[in-house]
Amino acid sequence: MENKINKFLFDIKESIEAIESYLKNASFEIYQENKMLRRAVEREFEIIGEAMYRISKLNPEIKIKNKEAIIGMRNRIIHGYDIIDEEVIWSTVHDHLPTLKIEIQKMLK
Look at residues 92, 95, 105 and name the one whose alpha carbon lies nearest to residue 64. 105
Look at residues 71, 64, 75 and name the one whose alpha carbon lies nearest to residue 99. 64
Beta strands in the chain, from DSSP E residues, in sequence order: none
Of residues 38, 39, 43, 74, which has the active-site annotation? 74
Residue 74 known to be catalytic:
yes
Of residues 38, 43, 79, 94, which has the active-site annotation? 79
Residue 96 known to be catalytic:
no
Q: Are 73 and 92 in contact (CB under 8 A)?
A: yes
Active-site positions read 74, 79
